[in-house]
Chain A
Amino acid sequence: MEWSAAALSLRLALCSVGLLAPLGVALAWPLAFGRFRGKAALDALLLMPLVLPPTVLGFYLLELFGPRSPLGRAWAWVSGGTLLFSFSGLLAASVILNLPFFLQPLVAALGGVDRRLMEVSATLGERRARTYFRVTLPLAWRGLLSGAILAFAHAIGEFGVALMVGGNLPGRTRTLSIALFDQVQAFDLAAAQRTALALLAFAFLVLFATARLRGREPA
């Protein structure tokens, strides 16, 4: 197994979840409780990465992060480097790609919290934002955890977008699934077996953990 690729995948997944947590928690509230124009469009936009072919998303991110795009130029001005083929670019792509995996279970869990509890909180003097953090979010913790686990697992195994945005630079953007692709290309089937098995076992463990979490949800 290629340990540097494994370490990079792990780092990418952890950083993705670290950024997704505040972003997802902030976005989940209007999605679960908000009533505003364009909510359906926002819903669809945030869910797009689930159904788009990774190469399509990768292509647009390539355009968006490119050195001639406004974002690419701004990034170069701030950091002196490029977003493309760097860990930062890979991380940004991973956050966008995994947002729906984080949001879906969280929004569903928030929607399942008894509305009366939020009303009680209001009559006890707490405004909506504080009620969200004191009552709603703590009661939706399973959804928060499932979202984090799913996003983490998906970030570990991402291939298409990672390859298009990050390329294949060992130690910088070469993740475990890209390493597997390389191993197969080089007919190193023994190494490919080990990498594939590690990813398989990991995916199973993650899904098993989320299933256990769901199973414990009160009926």
Chain B
Amino acid sequence: MSLRADFLVRHPGGPEIRASFELELGRFAVTILFGPSGCGKTTVLRVLSGLARPDSGTVVVDGQTWSRVPAPERGVGHVFQEPALFPHLTVAQNVAYGLRRWPAPARDERVRLLLERVGVAELAGRRPGAISGGQRQRAALARALAPRPRLLLLDEPFAALDRVSAEQLKRELRSLLKAEAIPALLVTHHRGDALSLGDHLLRMEEGRIVQAGRPEQVLTGITSDGGPGAETVVRARCTGRREGLLRLEAGSAVLYAADPGNVSEQVHLCIRSEGVALERADTGALSHRNVLPARVEDLRAEGPLTRVRLDCGFPLEALLTTWACRDLDLRAGAVVVALVKATAIRVIPVDGQGPRYDGPIHR
């Protein structure tokens, strides 16, 4: 099963949004739709769920064109930024809403199971007005999952939550989706969420999908998300802990980074180029935990600074003053030592330990 989208939406007097991508639907995978606010991510979701019509182009699912298929017949779940629970129904009735055609015993069992999975079983009889924002969003997630949609769209589901509820839900979301075996398309502009939750990533900018690939590949070199950027994003395996530091294996290199807690074996490392220093030789005692032999791949001038691409067992970027590059006599092919402070590495845990999704996802 696959979904192929190729459409254009024109907002009157506003931007033009063009989306062209493919999603695998048959099996569980989380695809991230990543980009800054206002780049058209929400519009893409609305077209997929049938809440908005494209001006041209269409969505094709398993050879069936969706232009004339109304939202209720698409089997696409949609979780909005705001939970949007039906205020006149209880939490359980909200979750059961999409199960009208199910026989009562199966429906009750499904509702019970989902409320338990999202952790709001004890609130089944409450009205949405009587529970917290985080609990409402969990109930909304259960409601969208209940009819077993073939694709679940999540439009910044953490945006309206306080930090604690958002962090909790983030930790559980991936395993929840996996337990239900429902493929999901998650909109976010936070690279941390993209890295920890996604198997694949579509990057949007100014109404276009400009890049697709694995999250760490696409997000390497991108700092325009408004959050703390990091030019180097690399997958690593956590192989030990010592004095509050994690021992991490990335490619053939070993690094140490501050332990953020809640880290499973698989992680992403985000390293800002400004946090990387270079030496021409290993000078011995340094405060840097990470002293990595590296080879200079290439240099690129950025005003008074120079961006240096390195291979130190994994691709790494450093940002130096042009003066320093001259002092070090840096050239492509030069052998150097890269110094990275353990505190300059941000470790993002990767949820779920199952095999990663590598199927076709875009053209």
Contacts and interface: CB of A to CB of B under 8 A. Distances in A.
A125 B147 contact: yes
Interface string A125-166: 111000000110011000000000000000000000000000
Contact of A123 (B76, B82, B87): B76
A121 interface: yes
A109 to B, nearest CB: 13
B144 interface: yes
A124 B51 contact: no
Contacts of A138: 88
Contact of B100 (A114, A117, A126, A135): A126
Contacts, number: 58
A121 B77 CA distance: 10
Interface in B26-63: 49-51
Contact of A119 (B51, B87, B143): B51
B147 A122 contact: no
A205 interface: no
A123 B51 contact: yes
Interface string B16-31: 0000000000000000
Contacts of B87: 139
A122 B51 contact: yes
A138 B73 CA distance: 24
B84 A120 contact: yes
Contact of B70 (A120, A121, A127): A127
B73 to A, nearest CB: 8
Given A117-B86, A135-B86, A139-B87, A122 B98 contact: no
Contacts of A116: 80, 82, 84
Interface of A: 114, 116-117, 119-127, 134-135, 138-139
Given A117-B84, A122-B70, A124-B97, 18 more contacts: A116-B80, A119-B78, A120-B84, A122-B71, A123-B50, A123-B51, A123-B76, A123-B77, A123-B144, A124-B143, A124-B147, A125-B100, A126-B72, A126-B98, A126-B100, A127-B70, A135-B86, A135-B88
Interface of B: 49-51, 70-78, 80, 82, 84, 86-88, 97-98, 100, 143-144, 147
14 contacts: A119-B51, A119-B84, A120-B80, A121-B97, A122-B72, A123-B49, A123-B71, A124-B98, A124-B147, A125-B72, A125-B75, A126-B97, A127-B70, A135-B86
